[in-house]
Amino acid sequence: MNSRLRRIGRVLLWVIVSLVSILLGVLIISSIIYPAEYVFRVLRWGTSDVYDYQKFPERRINKAEDEFQFIEQLNHPQIEEIFISHPGIDDMETFIQETSTQALIVVADDTLLYENYGEGFERDSIVTSFSAAKSFGSTLIGVAIDQGYIGSVKDPITMYLPELADRDARFEQITIHDLLKMSSGIRYEEFPFLNGDDALTYYYPDLRQLALTNTEIIDPPGEYFLYNNYHPLLIGIILERATGQHVAEFFEENIWQHIGTEYPASWSLDEAGFEKMESGINARAIDFSKFGRLFLNRGQWNGEQIISEDWITASILDQGHPDEYYDTSFGPEIRDAAEGGYYQYMWYGLEREGGGNDFYAAGRYGQIIYVSPRANLVIVRNGETYGPDMDLFDWIEIFYHVASQKIG
């Protein structure tokens, strides 16, 4: 018996030593290929969460001098009734808690009808954007075009990033439009470990270098939809070079300080001081709702045209009748990706008969800015998770249902 136990012990020891050796080998090789800071982040931090903004450096974004306040008609009974009329929601307080929702805000006709917080959050608590930041970056391209820093979305990206053409002449065929539409033809593979593009574009300490040296073309531009975090990174570099400003500074001066924000915000950075364009805006939910209001009002804020109306139309296809350039092509894969909707300039859209489409910015775990022109409605939701047995499109189905009801 003792002899058998010793043999089992030797086998277990051999297995443990082998596994440790393999792990050490992977770490050594990874540390040769990748910066040590990147390897450390992937192994120490693991899967992303909504509190990662506390780990990254950041660039502050100052609030507006003149705060805008919505008319308040809180505890509006009709709003709760509308939510509860959706299958699966029996009580709003229970729903907020069970779905790990940090903030849920409903604004209709410039009236704050519902504002509720869970997970110990309050109005002044910081929430993060994750991929909803992509819609902000897209908007800044429109502002840069409006102000003459960028010619148009038809500009080849090599006009601003010539080193890409030095590496591969095919980059000259990719336009800013292709980046905005997630249709550049650039490779993107979501491996779950160190060499996966999800981890690289999230944790890499020099995202500019990564985007300019690690991108590889595998398809012709404009033919296939592929959700790809290299696109917003390249957009950020284009914005920097075209405007001569940090992205967060350009955002603060041209949007954040013009929409009555109540609180400062921040944009998470990599170690080289570049904005995390794919994920990193941190603010308060009430101020995210004001960004939604800006788009609801077609780029106008209390009489001032912050973003051109043409750009709003191109970004969200709210007329429902795109021209030949602002198309909703790519066949079934984009419909599958948007659950029957469409994807335009880093905004998702949901068609409504006769136009006036709903649209929304969305990030991981259900960070959502939902806008319905038909209902004159903005809904903001932030959360630690989507909720049990839920995903992004479960939330979108709920918000579409709310926006389809007559409020008031």
138 and 68 both lie in a single domain? yes
Does 162 score more than 60 pLDDT? yes
pLDDT at 330 over 70: no
293 and 258 in a common domain: yes
Q: Which residues lie closer than 8 Å to 81 by C-beta, 6 or more apart?
A: none
Render 182-247 in DSSP notation, one character per residue.
T-S-B-----SSTT-HHHHHHH-S-HHHHHHHS--B-S-TTS-----THHHHHHHHHHHHHHSS-H
- Domain total of the chain: 2
Range among 145-159, 306-320, 353-367 rated most confident: 145-159
Domain shared by 238 and 185, yes or no:
yes
- pLDDT value, residue 340: 66
Longest dimension (CA), the chain: 87
Q: Same domain for 88 and 8?
A: no
The dihedrals phi and psi of 14, each to the nearest 5 degrees, come to -60, -40
| Whether 245 and 339 share a structural domain | yes
How many Cα atoms sit within 13 Å of 74 on the Cβ side? 6
Locate 302 and state its tokens. 């209390």
Q: Answer yes or no: is 276 within a domain.
A: yes
Domain that holds residue 29: 2-33
Within a domain: 290: yes
The answer to whether residue 55 sits within a structural domain is no
Range with the poorest average pLDDT among 51-55, 192-196, 269-273: 192-196
* SS3 state of residue 283: strand
210 and 116 in one domain?
Answer: yes
| Per-residue pLDDT band at 30 (split at 50, 70, 90) | low
Residue 53 included in any domain = no
109 and 9 belong to one structural domain: no
- pLDDT tens-digit series, residues 175-188: 999 999 999 999 99
Do 295 and 201 sit in the same domain of this protein?
yes
Shared domain for 150 and 26, answered yes or no, is: no
Q: DSSP characters for 84-103?
A: HTSTT-S-HHHHHHHTTEEE
Q: Are residues 15 and 156 in the same domain?
A: no
Q: Is the pLDDT of residue 25 over 60?
A: no
Any domain includes 51: no
Q: Give residue-wise pLDDT tens across range 332-350.
A: 555 555 566 888 999 999 8
Domain check: are 27 and 82 in the same one? no
| Selection from 197, 135, 83 nearest residue 370 by Cα | 135
| Residue 42 in domain | no
Supply the CATH number for residue 157's domain.
3.40.710.10
Specify if 52 maps to a domain. Answer: no
Burial of 255 (0-12, 13-18, 19+ CB in 10 A): buried
Query: Exposure of 85 by Cβ count < 10 A (0-12 exposed, 13-18 middle, 19+ buried)?
Result: exposed
Query: Strand 377-383 and strand 367-372: pairing?
Result: antiparallel
- Over pLDDT 70: what percentage of the chain? 86
CA angle 299, 66, 345 (to 5 degrees): 25
Cβ pair 289, 110 in contact under 8 A: no
